Chains A and B, each alone.
Chain A
Amino acid sequence: MNALVVDNISKTFITKNKKKVHAISNTSFTINENEFVCILGPSGGGKSTLLNIIAGFEEPTSGQVIAHGQKINGPSPSRIMVFQEFALFPWLSVLDNISFGLEMKGMGRAKRYEHAKYYVALVGLEKFVDSYPSELSGGMKQRVAIARALAMQPDILLMDEPFGALDAYTRENLQQELLNIWEKERKTVLFVTHSVDEAVTMADKIIIMAGSPGTIHNEISNTLDRKRVNTEPGFVELKAQIQKYVQSAGNLNASLKN
């Protein structure tokens, strides 16, 4: 069974001055179990809206999203979002942030802390269990958010430009760490980015989304061996190919507008 089926989704907003804005039109794709999929495209192309619909935060105007055979209907711990802005609870310690969802599940304190500690170790923050988010760097905050998401053992991890607010060095580190975790935990990941490099580094499958309203232009499977290095010929070649697609997607939109 597919982990996720996005079936002909369109989304239209009505703005405050009653104008219609088409954010997404007729978008369909599927994601397989344990696949790492990147949605790649320029800002304002409807990527985040699409992810919010898949998370259940927003409803599509038409179409449907099916997760593990079930039509989605609102947010669910089986599809956990990792936000660019981290979205940690500032009044909770690292451990309590990671345990929050487990507490909501009704898990007792001792049990949820024990469970959470596994994920603290997974993201390498053992020394910071009692720290508050305000005491952590951006990279550490995002590790906490990733641990909090994984602790729920979701079917699918949704990541909305999760490393977009981090410096280049931290970003590369976290990309590698996320890949290591992904190989260890074997999760389905849907990862939104506007960086071609990031998409080629991370994804099994790259979905190029562009335009206004945003829609899917290409799906490219990335079969480069894992532990990818961005100077290898294969990497460079794929990156060039994707850049061409992104460009033509942009041109297509420009011509549509004219």
Chain B
Amino acid sequence: MELEDKSEQGFNWNDLERRYAGFIIILILIGIWELIAQFLVPQLNPQLSILVSPPSKVLLAAATTAQSGELLEHVLASSKRVLMAWGFVMITAVPLGVAIGWWPRFNRYVEKIIELLRPIPPIAWIPISILWFGIGLTQNLFIIIIGTFFPVLLSTIHGVKGIDPILIRAARNLGAPPAKLLFKVVLRSAMPAIFNGLRVGLGVAWMVLVAAELVAATSGLGFMIQDARNFLRTDIIFMGMIMIGIMGIAMDFVLRMAARPFLTWYHGSSE
């Protein structure tokens, strides 16, 4: 066996590479972007350079808007909308999904209407929702709820329907009355699927939020980048786009950490 043990060395390239490979690529790409924006584009056509802000200017835009409080204001406005809509979906779509998954009779009544509504893209609701609610919070929430509702609903239904029937037999055999069967067995068993739906839903919420804010808001990150377009501030546009990505990652991270104690049994074997 020729396997060398490198763990004793103080500095280990393999280990470093494994951990930071993804970040290295990002840094390299940012470097290339900086070079192109700073040197190549102005030489080709100086008028175009305004369309490709270099990362240094994007960073500067982040710093100035952060200092003025403008960035925080937009981040908070967007986060508030996402969390309100997503929270609403959590307390409506999850119970509805459990009911649909658990009671076949209920499923028979609502199955068709869900099949009909589900394929309509949330963005298609924007025109009618502006007419109904005008521009602002209610309209934004409506759009995000429409977009988030179905992924959460479908995952929940899937999770509840997917429970191993033998577990239900075992639980009934051990004396579980109907309510306990639902809460202590069915819901627990569906938890990974429900959580997965909520995670997907949170991602979709950010997507549709930005779509809604682009056309029907006066604050938020979507509004900020749309507004910056009018002033040709591509540095702010890039900064806003990156910020949306970062917020998505951050919320996903918080959600995963919050769910961890409930899902140790599920992840325990795969991690």
The contact string, 1 if C-beta is below 8 Å from chain A, for chain B 190-229, is: 0100000000000000000000000000000000000000
| B169 pairs with A77, CB closer than 8 A | no
Whether B169 pairs with A81 at a CB distance below 8 angstroms is yes
Q: Which chain A positions have C-beta within 8 A of B264?
A: 132
Contact A75 B265 (CB under 8 A): no
Q: Contacts of B269 on A, CB cut-off 8 Å?
A: 132, 134-135
Q: Mark B6-42, 1 if CB is under 8 A from A, else 0.
A: 0000000000000000000000000000000000000
State which of A76, A83, A91, A101 has its C-beta within 8 Å of the C-beta of B266: A91
**A152 CA / B171 CA spacing, docked (Å):** 12
Give the contacting residue for B265; candidates A101, A132, A152; CB below 8 A: A132
As a 0/1 sequence over residues 125 to 143 of chain A, the CB contacts with chain B under 8 angstroms (1 = contact) are 0000000111100000000
B residues bordering A, Cβ < 8 Å?
A: 164, 166-167, 169-177, 180, 184-185, 188-189, 191, 264-266, 268-269
CA distance A236 to B177 in the complex (A): 47
Given contacts A89-B167, A90-B265, A132-B268, contact A81 B191 (CB under 8 A): no
Residues on A with C-beta less than 8 A from B266 are 90-91
Decide if A118 is an interface residue (CB 8 Å cutoff). Answer: no
Assuming the A-B contacts A55-B173, A132-B268, A152-B174, are A89 and B188 also in contact, with contact meaning beta carbons closer than 8 angstroms in the complex?
yes
Say yes or no: A104 contacts B177, CB within 8 Å: yes
Cβ of A29 < 8 Å from any Cβ of B?
no
Query: Residue of A at shortest CB range from B173?
Result: A75
> Does more than half of chain B's interface fall in helix, strand or loop, or is it mixed?
helix
Also in contact, A104 and B175, with CB within 8 A (given A91-B188, A91-B191)? yes
Given A104-B175, A135-B268, A135-B269, are A75 and B185 neighbors across the interface (CB < 8 Å)? no
Partner of B169, one of A57, A100, A101, A148: A57
B268 touches A87 (CB 8 A): no
Q: Is A238 an interface residue (CB 8 A)?
A: no
* A-B pairs under 8 A by CB, number: 69
Cβ of A89: which chain B residues have Cβ within 8 Å of it? 167, 170-171, 185, 188-189
A21 to chain B, nearest CB (A): 19
CA distance A57 to B166 in the complex (A): 10
Whether A91 contacts B180 in the complex (CB less than 8 A), given A75-B172, A77-B175, A83-B166, comes out as no
Q: Name the CB-closest residue of B to A154.
A: B173
Determine whether the beta carbon of B268 is less than 8 Å from that of A134: yes
The reply to whether the CB of A111 lies closer than 8 angstroms to some CB of chain B is: no
> In the assembly, what is the distance between CA of A101 and CA of B177, in Å?
11
> Chain A contact residues (Cβ within 8 angstroms of B): what range?
20 to 34
Question: Is A85 an interface residue, CB under 8 A from the partner?
Answer: yes
In the complex, the answer to whether A85 meets B265 with C-beta atoms within 8 Å is: no
Residue of B nearest to A100 (CB): B174
Q: Kindly list chain A residues whose C-beta atoms are within 8 Å of the C-beta of B177.
A: 104
With both chains docked as a complex, state the minimum distance between the C-beta of B63 and any C-beta of chain A, in angstroms: 47
- Establish whether residues B166 and A85, one from each chain, have CB atoms under 8 Å apart when the complex forms: yes
Which of chain B's residues have a CB closer than 8 A to the CB of A56? 173
A101–B115 Cα distance when bound, in Å, is 39
Complex Cα–Cα for A104 and B269 (A) = 28
Question: Of all chain B residues, which has the CB nearest A101?
Answer: B174
Bound CA–CA A152/B172 (angstroms): 13
The answer on a CB contact under 8 Å between A134 and B174 is no
Question: B169 and A75: CB pair below 8 A?
Answer: yes
* C-alpha gap A79/B172 in the complex (Å): 11
Which residues from B are CB-within-8-Å of A146?
Answer: none
Write 29 A-B pairs (CB below 8 A) sorted by A numbering: A55-B169, A56-B173, A57-B169, A57-B172, A75-B169, A75-B173, A77-B174, A79-B173, A80-B173, A81-B170, A83-B170, A85-B166, A87-B164, A87-B170, A89-B171, A89-B185, A89-B188, A91-B188, A91-B266, A100-B171, A100-B174, A101-B174, A104-B174, A132-B268, A134-B265, A134-B269, A148-B174, A152-B174, A152-B175
What mask results when residues 78 to 116 of chain A are scored 1 for a CB within 8 Å of chain B, else 0? 011101010101111000000011001100000000000
Contact (Cβ within 8 A) A77 B189: no
* A87 & B180 in contact (Cβ 8 Å cutoff): no
In the complex with contacts A89-B188, A91-B189, A105-B265 CB distance below 8 A: no
Contact of A92 among B169, B176, B191, B265 (CB under 8 A): B265
